[in-house]
Amino acid sequence: MISNRKLFPKLEGLSIRQLEQLKSDIEKSISSRKKDELYESIKMLAKEAGVDLVQLLAERDATEKPTKLYVNPNDPSKTWSGKGRHPNWFKDLVRSGYEPEQILSQNQGSVSGNQ
């Protein structure tokens, strides 16, 4: 087996910082190549199946359900996406008689987060 010192003699002269940068660059390159190979494989599979990949992805995006957004009527800065644990303000409103549909935002745009 050939040692790394014989294969990469210039590595000996590099600082730790330079070696770490080289490692980071190599990891990015590997990740990029994996994505490229995956994309090409998917394109080939779609072509073999007689499917237009762009159209397939567009149709898939169009069928995804929109994210619900619940808004606290007493404090509109408090929102909840409907995923995960119920925030205390949501539980308090439901206990006080609100139906979840009453708290659902009329504008189903972006989600501010679970506050």
What does the DSSP 8-state code read for residue 45? H
Q: b/e map of 35-74 (b: 16 or more CB within 10 Å)?
A: eeeeeeeeeeebeeeeeeeeeeeeeeeeeeeeebbbbbee
Quick: pLDDT tens for 56-101: 877 776 666 657 789 999 998 899 988 889 999 999 999 999 999 8
Query: For the segment 13-61, what is each residue's pLDDT rounded down to a tens digit?
Result: 889 999 999 999 999 999 999 999 999 999 899 999 998 888 887 777 6
pTM, entire model: 0.44
**For residue 58, what are its two tokens?**
């567009």
